[in-house]
Amino acid sequence: MMIGITGTPGTGKSSVADELACRGHRVVHLAGTVQRYVVEEDRCRQTLVVNVEGWASEFKPIDGIVEGHLAHFLPCDRVVVLRCRPDVLRARLSSRSYPREKIAENVEAEALDVILIETLEMHPGDAIYELDTTERTVDACADVIEQFMQGNLPPSYGRIDWTDYLVLDT
Ligand code: ADP
Ligand code: MN
């Protein structure tokens, strides 16, 4: 079974995936698998533009956890969408050396549920779990993901509404 951990940059994917790896789960950090598929480097946004279709179609599914903001484009059996309240996400991203524009774009994408919507389009009817990391430790997030992976937690999504935070970016 392949479990995807996706989410807007800064929501905590790598941190929780590292914790799950420490607990013995097989984890692939997808950032390390896209190099061959980079079609453009957007220097202004410090972002790599990836040929997602090419990458996803050539990715050999694994039995384990795949982590990254493109994870939901893979044929995962279960997908965890990490979320973070936009004001807190802004703070998390500000401690990275991200350009202003990139922080604003990511905060806005989080407020608009962009990754969740993409996940629902890719995995209609599949098991999706939205996990709010805003006030949860990495450890607590890993506990919830393990429960969901084991089938002890039913799918859950669509309860988050952060549209109020959109005003931050105007
Ligand atoms: P991603 O891989 O989704 O971009 P990271 O795991 O790199 O996110 O985490 C981004 C930042 O947020 C890091 O500074 C990390 O320490 C912090 N962080 C991650 N998860 C949590 C959490 N559950 N609670 C508080 N801070 C967190
Ligand atoms: Mn990461």
The full DSSP string for the chain is -EEEEEESTTSSHHHHHHHHHHTT--EEEGGGG-GGGEEEEETTTTEEEE-HHHHHHH----SEEEESTTGGGS--SEEEEEE--HHHHHHHHHTTT--HHHHHHHHHHHHTTHHHHHHHHHSTTSEEEEEE-TT--HHHHHHHHHHHHTT-S--B-S----GGGGGGG-
Domain layout of the chain by residue ranges: 2-164
pTM over 0.85: yes
Ligand nearest to the CA of 91: 1
User: How far does residue 66's CA lie from ligand 2's centre (Å)?
Assistant: 11
Q: Chain-wide mean pLDDT for the chain?
A: 95
- Mean pLDDT (whole number) for 104-124: 97
Tens of pLDDT, residues 19-73: 999 999 999 999 999 999 999 998 888 889 999 999 999 999 999 999 999 999 9
Q: Which residues line ligand 1 (CB under 6 A)?
A: 7, 9-15, 92, 95, 133, 136-138, 141
CATH 3.40.50.300 fits 2-164, yes or no: yes
Q: Give the position, in ligand 1's atom list, of the atom nearest the Cα of 137.
A: 23
Q: Which ligand is nearest to the CA of 106?
A: 1
